[in-house]
C-alpha cells in the first residue's frame, strides 16, 4: 500500500468520484482519513425476526422463502425472509433484474433496516443487505458500523468501502509499519505531550474512530469524551489557534509608525469635553498608547458594553496619530452609525483644526471624486465611512491607524485587506477593533487569538437602570397608550419594527405601516420614521429632529441598533423581539437608559412563544450586563450565531465543538504558545492538515 498517494490511487476511485468527494471537502488521502463518522450503529448482533420491534433498526439474518414483483400503488419487489423465530417482508421500490434474480429461494441474507408496520405485519423498506455465503458469515472482531457525512451521489456503502482501504493504511501505519508513510500522517504533537497527557497516537485515534469495537462506551463517544476524540479535538483547536498566531505574526512583520508624542492633541480634546474619561476608558487608552509606541502594527480588540464610551477611546487613539501627521480611518458597519460618528467626531475635532472626510456607498459622482481626492492628498485627516472605505479606488496618503467599530460584522478577511490599504513606503497601519457585542472569554480566545484584548468594564456615571418587561402583542393598545403618557410627560420613545424577512424592502414597508398606524392612534404626538432605504440626508434630518426633541416618537427598523445616542429617550418598544438574537436586543435596548430619567423597554412579543424564546426574553428581563447576556446566548444558541462565524473560520471545525469543548480552550491556548515557541517547525504542517483546503484565510 506504500504507493498510495492520491485519492485516485484507491480502488474504485476515478476522477468522477474524486470530484464528488470534493463536495465533502475531501481533496486528499489525508482528508479522507479525517472524514470521521458522525454516529455509529451497532450491527454486531443479529436479532431474531420474531423479536423485532417496529421503528427499532436491527440486523436480521434468514433464508429467502420467496420473491415476487407486486403491483400496488407502486410496483415493488417483495421478498419473504424467514429465520427460526419468524418471517418478515422486505420491500424494494427501486430494484433491477439482477437484484430480483439474486433473491432465489434458499438464499441466506443478512439485512440491516428499520422494521415498520405494514399491510402484512412487520416490513423492512429498502434494507441494506448482503448475501451470505457459507462459512463466511461471522466476523472475528465485531465493530460498530460508522455512519459518515455523505452527499448526493455518494452512499454510505461507498464511503465505507473507501474507508476500509484507508483503514488498512492506518492499521499498517499504527501497528506494523510506522515508517512506511511518514509523510501521510506524521504525528505532529511533541512526544513529551503525548506522554504527559496520555494521548493516543494519531493513526491509532483515527483508526479507532472509524471502527470502534462494539464494547466501547457509546455514551462517552457520543459526548466527545473518548481519548481518541480528545486527541483530535485538541489537535484541531490547536491548529486554529496557531493559524491565528500565524496571521498575527504575519501582520507584525510589517513596520508601523511608532508614535511617541506629548499627547498635546489629546489634552486639547479632553479639555473641551464636558466630562472626563472613566477609569476603564483611561486604562484602555493607556494600553493602546503602549501599543502605538511600538514600531510594528497594533492589533487590539476593545470590548465595551453598549454605552461604555468606546467612541472617546477611539478618538483619543486617533489624536496621537493625527498629531504626528498621519491619517486615521474609522469604519462602521452601517451608514447610520458612520454618520453618527461623523457628527460626533467632527464636533470634537473641527474646533481643534482637524479636517474630517466622509465616504459611504451612497456618495456618488462628483462628491465621491472629491472625497477620494481629499483622502488621496491627505487633506482629509480623519476619514469616516462604511465598507466603501475598502474599495479598490480608495487610496490614502499616509494612513497610520484603522479603527473598525462593531467588529462582529466584519470578517477577518476584510480586516486584513485594510492592512494593504494602509501600506505606504513599507509601513502598515495600526489596527484598533471595537465591539459592543461582548464575547464570552473562551470564544474570544479562539476567535480573536490574533488580537490583544482590552475591556471597558465600566459605564460612565449617571446612567439609570432600564426596566424590561415582556408583553404579548395582544396588549398592543395598552402599550400605545403608555407611549402617549410617557411622551406627554416630556420623554421620547423608540418603536422598533423587526421582521424575519431578509428583504429590506419588506422590513421598511412594515415600519412604514406601523408609523401610519401610530400616527392615527396618537395624533397629538410628533412621529418620525427612519429605515434603511431612506436617503442619507433624509435619515440624518430625522435623527437630528429626534435628537433636538422636535419629534416625540421615532419609529425605526433595526438600523438604529448601534450608535444612536439620544439621552432624553427613555422608552423603547421592540416588536417581535423573539426573532432577534440576544446581542442585538441588548444593542437596541442600549439606546435608552442614557439619561437621568428612569428608562423602560417593552418586548412586544407574538404569542405563543417557544421554550427557547421564553428563556431568551427572560434573560433580557433579568440582566443588563452584556457579558452575562452573551454567555447566556452562547448557552442557548451556540457559538456559530453569536460570532457570526461564517467569517471567523470557526464554522469549519471538523471534530471540535466550541461549546462542548470550551473547557479545553485555556489549555489549548497555552499549548499553542508553547508549540509556537518551542516547536515552530510543526506549526505550518499542523495548520495545513486541519485548515489546508478549507481555511485559506491563513494566507490572506
Q: Which is nearer to ligand ADP, 307 or 400 (CB)?
A: 307
**The entry of ligand ADP, Mg ion, none that residue 306 binds, CB within 5 to 8 Å by partner kind:** ligand ADP
CA angle in degrees (0–180, nearest 5) for 159-163-167 = 170
Q: In angstroms, give the least distance from the CB of 561 to ligand ADP.
A: 11
Q: Which is nearer to Mg ion, 167 or 311 (CB)?
A: 311
**The entry of Mg ion, ligand ADP, none that residue 57 binds, CB within 5 to 8 Å by partner kind:** none
DSSP state of 525: S
DSSP state of 431: E
Q: Of residues 563-622, which lie at the interface with Mg ion (CB under 5 A)?
A: 563
Q: Which is nearer to ligand ADP, 172 or 344 (CB)?
A: 344
Report how far residue 398's alpha carbon sits from residue 209's, in angstroms, rounded to the nearest whole number.
Answer: 55
Q: What would the grid cell of residue 436 be?
A: 459592543
Helix (H, G, I), strand (E, B) or coil at 466: strand
Q: In angstroms, give the least distance from the CB of 530 to Mg ion.
A: 18
State the number of CA atoms in the 13 A half-sphere of 16 facing the CB. Answer: 4
Q: Classify residue 101 as exposed, middle or buried by CB count within 10 Å of its CB (0-12, 13-18, 19+).
A: exposed
Q: In angstroms, give the least distance from the CB of 306 to Mg ion.
A: 7
**The entry of ligand ADP, Mg ion, none that residue 460 binds, CB within 5 to 8 Å by partner kind:** ligand ADP
**The entry of Mg ion, ligand ADP, none that residue 304 binds, CB within 5 to 8 Å by partner kind:** ligand ADP
* Nearest alpha carbon to residue 310 among 195, 377, 404: 404
Q: In angstroms, give the least distance from the CB of 459 to ligand ADP.
A: 8
CB-CB contact of 329 with 359 (8 Å): no
Q: Which is nearer to ligand ADP, 336 or 655 (CB)?
A: 336
**The entry of Mg ion, ligand ADP, none that residue 593 binds, CB within 5 to 8 Å by partner kind:** none
Q: Which is nearer to Mg ion, 256 or 317 (CB)?
A: 317
Q: What dihedral do alpha carbons 227, 230, 235, 238 form, nearest 10°?
A: -140
Q: Which is nearer to ligand ADP, 421 or 591 (CB)?
A: 591
DSSP string, 580-645: S-HHHHHHHHTTSS-SSS-EEEEEEEPSSPPHHHHHHHHHHHH---HHHHHHHHHHHH-HHHHHTG
Q: Of residues 294-333, which lie at the interface with Mg ion (CB under 5 A)?
A: 310
Q: Which is nearer to ligand ADP, 230 or 310 (CB)?
A: 310
**The entry of Mg ion, ligand ADP, none that residue 309 binds, CB within 5 to 8 Å by partner kind:** ligand ADP
Report how far residue 159's alpha carbon sits from residue 146's, in angstroms, rounded to the nearest whole number.
Answer: 10
What is the Cα Rg of the chain in Å?
32
Burial 557-571 (b: 16+ CB within 10 A, else e): bbbbbbbbebebbbb
* Total site size for Mg ion, rule CB under 5 A: 2
Q: What would the grid cell of residue 231 be?
A: 486527541
Report how far residue 128's alpha carbon sits from residue 149's, in angstroms, rounded to the nearest whole number.
Answer: 17
DSSP state of 6: S
Interacting residues of 101 by C-beta distance below 8 A, sequence separation 6+: none
Q: In angstroms, give the least distance from the CB of 215 to ligand ADP.
A: 56
Q: Which is nearer to ligand ADP, 170 or 566 (CB)?
A: 566
Q: In angstroms, give the least distance from the CB of 468 to ligand ADP.
A: 18
**The entry of ligand ADP, Mg ion, none that residue 281 binds, CB within 5 to 8 Å by partner kind:** ligand ADP
Give contact residues for ligand ADP (rule: CB under 6 A): 275, 277-278, 281, 304, 306-312, 436, 460, 565
Q: In angstroms, give the least distance from the CB of 448 to ligand ADP.
A: 18
**The entry of ligand ADP, Mg ion, none that residue 190 binds, CB within 5 to 8 Å by partner kind:** none
**The entry of Mg ion, ligand ADP, none that residue 200 binds, CB within 5 to 8 Å by partner kind:** none
φ/ψ of 118, rounded to 5, equals -120, -170
Q: In angstroms, give the least distance from the CB of 584 to ligand ADP.
A: 14
Q: Which is nearer to ligand ADP, 245 or 328 (CB)?
A: 328
Choices 232-240, 267-275, 557-565, 679-687 (CB under 5 A): range interacting with Mg ion: 557-565
- Binding residues for Mg ion, rule: CB under 5 A, are 310, 563
Amino acid at each position: 500500500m506504500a504507493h498510495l498517494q492520491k485519492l485516485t490511487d484507491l480502488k474504485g476511485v476515478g476522477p468522477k468520484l474524486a470530484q464528488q468527494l470534493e463536495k465533502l471537502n475531501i481533496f486528499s488521502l489525508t482528508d479522507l482519513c479525517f472524514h470521521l463518522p458522525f454516529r455509529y450503529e451497532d450491527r454486531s448482533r443479529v436479532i431474531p425476526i420474531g423479536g423485532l420491534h417496529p421503528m427499532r433498526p436491527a440486523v436480521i439474518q434468514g433464508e429467502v422463502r420467496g420473491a415476487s414483483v407486486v403491483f400496488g400503488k407502486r410496483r415493488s419487489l417483495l421478498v419473504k425472509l424467514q429465520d427460526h423465530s419468524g418471517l418478515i417482508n422486505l420491500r424494494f421500490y427501486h430494484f433491477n433484474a439482477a437484484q430480483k434474480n439474486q433473491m432465489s429461494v434458499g438464499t441466506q441474507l443478512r439485512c440491516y433496516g428499520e422494521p415498520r408496520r405494514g399491510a402484512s405485519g412487520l416490513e423492512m423498506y429498502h434494507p441494506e443487505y448482503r448475501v451470505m455465503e457459507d462459512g463466511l458469515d461471522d466476523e472475528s472482531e465485531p465493530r460498530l458500523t460508522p455512519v459518515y457525512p455523505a452527499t448526493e451521489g455518494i452512499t454510505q456503502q461507498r464511503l465505507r468501502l473507501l474507508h476500509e482501504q484507508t483503514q488498512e493504511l492506518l492499521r499498517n501505519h499504527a501497528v506494523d509499519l510506522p515508517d512506511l508513510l511518514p509523510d501521510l500522517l506524521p504525528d505532529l504533537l511533541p512526544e513529551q505531550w503525548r506522554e504527559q497527557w496520555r494521548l493516543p497516537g494519531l493513526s491509532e485515534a483515527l483508526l479507532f474512530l472509524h471502527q470502534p469495537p462494539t464494547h466501547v462506551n457509546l455514551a462517552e463517544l457520543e459526548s466527545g469524551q473518548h481519548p481518541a476524540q480528545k486527541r483530535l479535538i485538541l489537535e484541531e483547536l490547536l491548529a486554529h489557534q496557531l493559524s491565528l498566531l500565524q496571521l498575527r505574526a504575519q501582520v507584525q512583520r510589517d513596520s508601523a509608525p511608532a508614535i511617541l508624542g506629548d499627547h498635546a492633541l489629546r489634552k486639547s480634546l479632553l479639555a473641551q469635553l464636558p466630562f472626563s474619561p472613566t477609569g476603564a476608558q483611561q486604562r484602555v487608552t493607556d494600553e493602546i498608547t503602549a501599543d502605538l509606541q511600538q514600531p510594528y502594527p497594533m492589533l487590539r480588540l476593545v470590548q465595551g458594553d453598549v454605552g461604555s464610551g468606546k467612541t472617546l477611546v477611539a478618538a483619543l487613539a486617533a489624536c496621537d496619530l493625527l498629531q504626528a501627521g498621519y491619517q486615521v480611518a474609522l469604519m462602521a458597519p452601517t451608514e447610520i452609525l458612520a454618520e453618527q460618528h461623523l457628527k460626533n467626531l467632527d464636533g470634537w475635532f473641527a474646533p481643534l483644526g482637524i479636517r474630517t472626510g466622509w465616504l459611504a456607498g451612497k456618495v456618488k459622482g462628483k462628491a465621491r471624486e472629491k472625497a477620494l481626492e481629499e483622502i488621496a492628498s491627505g487633506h482629509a485627516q480623519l476619514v469616516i465611512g462604511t465598507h466603501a472605505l475598502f474599495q479598490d479606488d480608495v487610496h490614502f496618503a499616509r494612513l497610520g491607524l484603522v479603527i473598525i467599530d462593531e467588529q462582529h460584522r466584519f470578517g477577518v478577511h476584510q480586516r486584513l485587506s485594510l492592512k494593504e490599504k494602509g501600506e505606504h513606503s513599507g509601513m502598515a497601519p495600526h489596527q484598533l477593533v471595537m465591539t459592543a457585542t461582548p464575547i464570552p472569554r473562551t470564544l474570544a480566545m479562539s476567535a480573536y487569538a490574533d488580537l490583544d484584548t482590552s475591556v471597558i468594564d465600566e459605564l460612565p456615571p449617571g446612567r439609570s437602570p432600564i426596566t424590561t418587561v415582556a408583553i404579548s402583542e395582544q396588549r398592543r393598545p395598552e402599550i400605545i397608550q403608555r407611549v402617549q403618557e410617557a411622551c406627554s410627560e416630556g420623554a421620547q420613545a423608540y418603536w422598533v419594527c423587526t421582521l424575519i424577512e431578509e428583504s429590506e424592502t419588506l422590513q421598511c414597508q412594515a415600519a412604514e405601516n406601523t408609523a401610519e398606524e401610530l400616527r392615527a392612534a396618537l395624533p397629538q404626538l410628533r412621529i418620525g420614521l427612519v429605515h434603511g432605504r431612506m436617503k442619507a440626508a433624509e435619515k440624518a434630518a430625522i435623527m437630528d429632529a429626534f435628537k433636538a426633541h422636535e419629534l416625540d416618537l421615532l419609529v425605526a427598523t433595526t438600523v438604529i441598533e448601534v450608535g444612536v445616542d439620544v439621552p432624553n429617550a427613555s422608552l423603547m418598544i421592540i416588536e417581535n423581539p423573539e426573532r432577534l438574537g440576544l446581542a442585538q436586543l441588548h444593542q437596541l435596548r442600549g439606546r435608552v437608559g442614557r439619561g437621568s430619567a428612569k428608562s423602560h423597554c417593552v418586548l412586544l412579543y407574538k404569542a405563543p412563544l417557544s421554550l427557547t424564546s421564553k428563556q431568551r426574553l427572560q434573560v433580557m428581563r433579568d440582566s443588563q450586563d452584556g457579558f452575562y447576556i452573551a454567555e447566556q446566548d452562547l448557552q442557548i444558541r451556540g457559538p456559530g450565531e453569536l460570532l457570526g462565524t461564517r467569517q471567523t473560520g470557526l464554522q469549519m471545525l471538523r471534530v471540535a465543538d466550541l461549546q462542548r469543548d470550551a473547557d479545553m480552550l485555556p489549555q489549548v491556548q497555552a499549548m499553542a504558545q508553547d508549540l509556537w515557541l518551542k516547536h515552530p517547525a510543526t506549526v505550518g504542517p499542523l495548520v495545513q492538515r486541519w485548515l489546508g483546503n478549507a481555511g485559506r484565510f491563513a494566507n490572506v
